[in-house]
Structure 1
């Protein structure tokens, strides 16, 4: 027989209403009473009926995370960070992939599944600043992630792309590198991650009195290892000299490093390489990869906090907030020459 709320109330010696209040995290309950109910739940193995609970409260205890592609290691690790942050709020997470497709993003935002969640974390990629008005009619509480829409109708939580890329470039400049490749550019992009990181790269060079050389800007389509490898092959075939690489994400850097090593170039002796995102794999490559830690856990925590606040206060007039997480330069073997 399934365990019911009546069974929990009987074992804990409290009313069914008290059990319900504990399950729904009602704040005004004595600590001793709350613990007694939790102990009863644990000993009986009781699992609340979330469907019934949702019908009563109007909430499901579920939020949606819309990201471009789980094959991109950053988004996979962001999803993990969001799930851990949501768990501290007793929320479950449904992950949706947009595939960097405008119509898919809009369909996900307006589709029936979004009516089944309490809130949405939306990592914008295909939509842009001019599309911000399309979000106005989304009634489900929402927090935006990423860089494509800065002035939308709701909160926006993201990383310091320009500052991080500038710091990565400054790191290579501090090592005496002067012919530095920017790997991962998207032609004509200004607002997205690629455009912002290219701006940071250019700012660091300008500060050092070094003009930007278009021959050192490597365009990459998808930010995957394959894209980094292909771009590096083209760069080597061109014969343009360089002694450093600022890759706009770690996957690009890892693909490029493979091609550099196949060409007989030593990292970092001949070419120093730094990435961006601090994905887990960078700690175990050979050499380990220097990178920018963009504050992924901080982004997830703040985004979930903002979303929970909007979910809990549906009638409140909360003005849109913008939050930029902190970042750090993580120096590893790919930029560190060990003296013999």
Structure 2
């Protein structure tokens, strides 16, 4: 029976990364007691390093991975498309790994338990903390995307979600809207809800509008059905308490909300204006076309791929950076009218 690093890790209760460090003689990151424990397990389990495989692993294979949580969300599909295009221009192949925002699947892409050989990983994590990533990193350099893990020892590419939400809400206020609902509060898998809620509150406060907690609605997992369900809840209230605008924390929920508004016989934007964030392609072809905040997805892809490949090739040796990517308001018919 062949013994692998993961078998030693399971036997000793330490991470695969720690076992790898001991096997490869990188003792500076491993305490003496842990080192002795792993060495004893290596001897007892009769582990034999596969020299040919190790040599092959250490060679660059020009393959990257993009691990993301939600294949059903067009935003991630559009970012993935941009990453693949950027990497292809630099002669790299990208493997897509759909993690379902599950911890074990995010760990698998980092530890090498995924069956692919990779030079590096672009990770949009929704479950891991910094320590988990650092202890389990064995698939080369990592670049992080998304609204988590700020200040990490990895290159990180993201947008200013608070400011993006502020811009979206302020757009509605500038159009004369005063009862602005927010859909997507609380129930999601990362920090985006709290950051976007901060931006929403900032715009209201700046305009001297009181925060009405009855206009804050949860958004489930931020899909179309969640937006429609939240909007129906708002529309089932007394007419005097209806919102005159809705800021949805992403475009998918905005599309669902628009469907519910049409279904109830209200007009967009004359009765209720709608705006989202992400600028997914579906929103541009909705009726009416969806106003949104557009992250620069091409720049997200360019930065993520370039940073990762430079780390892989040893061309980038400076400390990791956190880089903000620009965004812009795309005002369309769902707020401006036809």
Give the TM-score taking structure 2 as reference length: 0.79
Indicate yes or no: 2:176 matched with 1:168.
Answer: no
Which secondary structure does the structure 1 equivalent of 2:266 belong to? coil
Q: Kindly tell me: are residues 260 and 331 of structure 1, through their superposed partners in 2, closer, same or farther at Cα, counting changes over 3 Å? A: same
In 2, Cα distance between the equivalents of 1:309 and 1:183? 39
Q: Kindly tell me: are residues 305 and 292 of structure 1, through their superposed partners in 2, closer, same or farther at Cα, counting changes over 3 Å? A: same
- Kept in 2, the 8 Å contact 1:133–1:152? The answer is no
Which residue matches 1:261?
262
In 2, Cα distance between the equivalents of 1:230 and 1:115? 40
Which residue matches 1:236?
235
Q: Kindly tell me: are residues 115 and 253 of structure 1, through their superposed partners in 2, closer, same or farther at Cα, counting changes over 3 Å? A: same
Which residue matches 1:153?
153
Q: Deviations over 1:92-131 (max 9, x none)?
A: 100001101223212332233376101100001123xxx2
Which residue matches 2:31?
none
Tell me the C-alpha RMSD between the 2 structures. 1.9
In 2, Cα distance between the equivalents of 1:230 and 1:208? 29
Indicate yes or no: 2:131 matched with 1:133.
Answer: yes
Q: How big is the shift at 1:61? A: 0.9
- Kept in 2, the 8 Å contact 1:184–1:219? The answer is yes
In 2, Cα distance between the equivalents of 1:288 and 1:234? 23
Which residue matches 1:281?
282
Q: Deviations over 1:278-328 (max 9, x none)?
A: 0111111110000000111111110111001100108x6431100110010
- Kept in 2, the 8 Å contact 1:64–1:114? The answer is no
Which secondary structure does the structure 2 equivalent of 1:162 belong to? helix
Gaps of 5+ in 1: 1-53
Which residue matches 1:214?
213
Total equivalences in the alignment = 280
Matches within 5 A, 1:73-152: 73-113=74-114, 116-127=117-128, 131-137=129-135, 138-139=137-138, 140-152=140-152
In 2, Cα distance between the equivalents of 1:234 and 1:281? 24
Which residue matches 2:42?
none
Indicate yes or no: 2:322 matched with 1:322.
Answer: yes
Which residue matches 2:301?
300
In 2, Cα distance between the equivalents of 1:215 and 1:109? 42
- Kept in 1, the 8 Å contact 2:278–2:292? The answer is yes
Moved segments of 4+, more than 4 Å: 54-57
Give the TM-score taking structure 1 as reference length: 0.79
In 1, Cα distance between the equivalents of 2:312 and 2:63? 11
- Kept in 2, the 8 Å contact 1:78–1:300? The answer is yes
